[in-house]
Amino acid sequence: MNYAVRRARLAAQMLPGAVAVLPTAPEVLRNGDSDYPYRHDSSFYYLTGFTEPESVLVLVAAHGDKPARAILFCREKNVEREIWDGYRHGPEAARTAFGFDDAYPISELDTHMARILANAPALYYAVASNAALDAQVTGWIKAVRAQGRTGTTAPDTFVNVLPLLDEMRLIKDADEQALMLRAGEISGGAHARAMRAAKPGMFEYELEAELLYAFRKHGAQFPAYTPIVASGPNACILHYNVNDRQMQDGDLVLIDAGCELDGYASDITRTFPVNGRFTDAQRTLYELVLTAQDAAFRAIAPGRPYSAFHEAALRVLVQGMLDLGLISNCASVDDAIANKAHVPFYMHGTGHWLGMDVHDVGAYRDVTQADKPSRPLREGMVVTVEPGIYVRPADGVPERFWHIGIRIEDDVVVTGDGYRLLTASAPKTVAEIEAIVGTTHG
């Protein structure tokens, strides 16, 4: 990754001489004296590649004959703390290793910011998103204003830097795409491992353990989010993650899980029978969702609206719901969609941006236009494609479909002529699934 190029791109979008400030994420206490595993801020990492806590990036845009500068504030070297907590670069080593123009101890941030902001026309930061940073900014501005008698001026323009970064992060370059492909391969292999291990009588958390083992075994640092392992009726709970039910013969299990590799997420969902054989009702709904996903894939291409692949999947799902008697009293697909008759069975969108965050940054609509239409897809965008159907017991709903929840989710990158599938390693067809489930146990 060329982090210096990214920093230069951001600085080029700023007012001449303006300053941008981007802190990384704080460490978070879990309990007692134990912290949660540390994870850097995504946008900070996008611009720096630096993973240590207590770090702040400062960019100064070019002005006249003064070139743009990138300054890192980070923890000082401390041999005693490194014995306990691990290696620290320290400012000088970080400056050299990560290509910054200057680097200083984080303890000196307030002092240097009063100097850096003097006579700057604007300050770019995550406005109103971090109370601690807002307080620091207030202190810096007061310190600069205190120099007013010398003719020094403080910034009088404050710009939210996040929308600029969000648009940059939305388009993945070749290096990012290669990393996300590898994350997809690891996650797909983990899903296959869970399928091979599955059998009636296991607990959901046992399949979760198979996933987590495969993620770490193959080099991923974290799960990208808390895995969902939802069997039987739990599959109809969209964000179920207790993962403690004992799976029964005849259950489907829905697994929504992906790894994070070098800061980039994958996101896969597969649904399969715990005993390795779909019932007729399960197969009917499964193949409906699979057909809907295929329709969504075919709607993905540069220039097509982001909403197009959701609309394509929705029409297939709703037609299936009408054919199977899940929806009644609607004359057509259009009628059913207009009346939201599908919502009890399909209540979410068919995808989202994917990248350094699972639900990645970037606007879904063109807010520059009055009607805020869905924005067109562009080459390098990465999206999930995840149609589903969830049938809870209800009057008028055929009982054979009760407690069946199915979602099928893959990750794709938009290419020049369509899309590329990043998660092909996860078995998906009925034949593939029935051939692999339970094979670890013979």
Respond yes or no: is residue 33 known to be catalytic.
yes
Q: Which of 41, 208, 360, 409 is catalytic?
A: 409
Q: In angstroms, rounded to a whole number, what is the distance separating the alpha carbons of residues 38 and 55?
A: 13
Angle between helices 131-145 and 109-116 (to 10 degrees): 50
Q: Which of 88, 407, 411, 434 is catalytic?
A: 407
Closest among 78, 76, 125 to 103, alpha carbons compared: 76
Q: Which of 352, 357, 410, 419 is catalytic?
A: 352
Q: Which two tokens stand for residue 66?
A: 């003064």
Respond yes or no: is residue 386 known to be catalytic.
yes
Angle at 169 (CA atoms; ends 189, 212), nearest 5 degrees = 25
Q: Which of 3, 264, 390, 419 is catalytic?
A: 390
Q: In angstroms, rounded to a whole number, what is the distance separating the alpha carbons of residues 412 and 409?
A: 10
Q: In angstroms, rounded to a whole number, what is the distance separating the alpha carbons of residues 271 and 252?
A: 7
Respond yes or no: is residue 342 known to be catalytic.
no
Phi, psi of 257, deg, nearest 5: -160, 145
Respond yes or no: is residue 208 known to be catalytic.
no
Half-sphere exposure (CA, 13 Å, Cβ side) for 385?
A: 34
Q: Which of 41, 251, 256, 411 is catalytic?
A: 256
- Helix (H/G/I), strand (E/B), else coil: 413: strand
Q: In angstroms, rounded to a whole number, what is the distance separating the alpha carbons of residues 328 and 344?
A: 13
Q: Which two tokens stand for residue 148?
A: 């007013």
Respond yes or no: is residue 256 known to be catalytic.
yes
Respond yes or no: is residue 87 known to be catalytic.
no
Respond yes or no: is residue 352 known to be catalytic.
yes
Closest among 48, 84, 62, 72 to 18, alpha carbons compared: 62
Q: Which of 267, 357, 410, 411 is catalytic?
A: 267
Q: Which of 357, 386, 410, 411 is catalytic?
A: 386
Q: Which of 283, 315, 348, 392 is catalytic?
A: 348
Respond yes or no: is residue 310 known to be catalytic.
no
Q: Which of 145, 359, 378, 441 is catalytic?
A: 359
Q: Which of 65, 80, 87, 239 is catalytic?
A: 239
Respond yes or no: is residue 390 known to be catalytic.
yes
Q: Which residues are catalytic?
A: 33, 239, 256, 267, 348, 352, 359, 386, 390, 407, 409
